Structure 1
Amino acid sequence: MQIIKATPADLPRVMEIYQHARAFMNANGNGGQWANGYPQQSLISAGIAQGNCYVCVDDGAIIATFYYAKEQDPTYQRIENGHWLNEKPYGVLHRIAVHSSKKGIASYCLQWCFAQCGNMRIDTHQHNLPMLRVLEKNGYCHCGIIYVADGTPRLAFQKTR
C-alpha cells in the first residue's frame, strides 16, 4: 500500500468511498457523524486543490481516503473535560474512509500521518466504534471533548512522540 495526494481525477472514486462509509455508519448506529451528505464534493475538491486530500492505493486501486494537514484546527481551540497533551504544532487527520475488505488500512493511514509530524490530533463521534478501536490500537490518548462547526460534540484524541 502507498499514500499519495489525491488528484481531481480521483474525485469520483473518493466520493464513492465516502458514500460507502456513510452507508456503513448509518447501518452500524453512527448516522449522526456524517449526516446530510457530508463530506460534500465541494469540500473534497477544495482539499484536493489545497493538496491536503490523500488516497491509499493498493494494487493500483484507491481503497481509502482522508484529509491530512499540519495546521491549527479552529475546532480544537476549545476542549472540555480534559486538555491536549501539548500545544506544539500538530497534524490533523479528518474524514478518513475505507472501502476494502483488507484489514489494517485505517491503522496504516494513521501511522503514515503520525510519521509526517510526530504530533497528531484527531476527533470522532462517540458512536464511531470502529474508529475508536483504531485510535486505541494506535496509541491515541483521549483528551476531552471538542465541538465541530455544526455544534455537535466529538471525542478528541492526541498522540505525540
Structure 2
Amino acid sequence: MMHPEIRLRQAQEEDKHIIWDILQQAIARRKKDGSSQWQQGYPNLGTVETDIANGFGYVLTVDGVVAVYTALILNDEPAYSTIDGAWLSEGEFVVVHRVGVDERFAGQGMVKKLFDHIEDFTRSHKIQSIKVDTNFDNVPMLKILESKGYSYCGEVCLAGGIRKAYEKLIT
C-alpha cells in the first residue's frame, strides 16, 4: 500500500473557503459533543482571513488535499503572559490555535500527525517550545496533548473563558 504524502504548508488565500468549511465542521462537532468551545461566533471567516494575511494559517495536506487547519503563531499570545500556574520555559515558543480536521479525515490520527509536523516546524525555526490551550471539555484534544507528551502548566483566560494550558519543550 502506498503511503500518502502528508505535508504541512502555509495556508494561501485560495485555501480560505475549505479552511472555513473545516472550522464550521469542527464548531458543529464541538456543539454535538456538548462543548461550549467555539460556540460564540469565534472562529469565523474573518479569523481565517486574518490568519492567512498574517502568515499564521497552516494546513496539513494528504496527497495535496487539505485535511487539517491550524494557526501557528510565534511568541505572540498576550493571554499566555498571565497563567494560573507556570510555563515550563520563558524562551521563544510556537502557539497552536484553531485546530480543525475535515470530517473526511476524522478518526485517522490526523491531529497527532499535525502535532508531529508542528514539532518539526518548531525545531526547524530553532524555537524551544510549543504552547497550546484548550477547553476543559475538549476531551479529544486533551487526550492528544497527553499522548504527545505535553505538560499541563495551569490555566489561562482566553476568548472570555478559562482554558487548560500545555507546553512541550522541543530540543
TM-score, normalised to structure 1, is: 0.93
The residue that corresponds to 1:48 in the other structure is 52
Provide the secondary structure at the position in 1 that maps to 2:136.
coil
**Alignment RMSD, CA only?**
1.2
| Residue of structure 2 in register with 1:114 after alignment | 119
Assess if the C-alpha contact under 8 Å between 1:75 and 1:149 holds in 2. Answer: no
Corresponding residue number in structure 2 for 1:87: 90
The AA in structure 2 aligned to 1:158 is E
- Among 2, 5, 8, the residue aligned to 1:3: 8
Query: What secondary structure is seen at the aligned counterpart in 2 of 1:9?
Result: helix
Is residue 129 of structure 1 aligned with residue 143 of structure 2? no
Identity across matched positions, percent: 30
What corresponds to 1:143 in structure 2? Answer: 153
The SS at the match of 1:38 is coil
Give 1:153's aligned residue. Answer: 162
Aligned length: 158
CA distance, structure 1, for counterparts of residue 106 and residue 88 of structure 2: 34
Moved beyond 3 Å, runs of 4+: none
Contact 2:31/2:39, CA 8 A, preserved across alignment: no
Measure the CA separation in 1 of the matches of 2:70 and 2:45: 13
- Written as runs of structure 1 = structure 2, the 5 A alignment for 1:42-81 is 42-80=46-84
Q: Which runs of 5+ in 1 are unaligned?
A: none
Unpaired runs of 5+ residues, structure 2, are 1-5, 123-127
Asked if the contact 1:72/1:89 (under 8 Å) is kept, the reply is: no
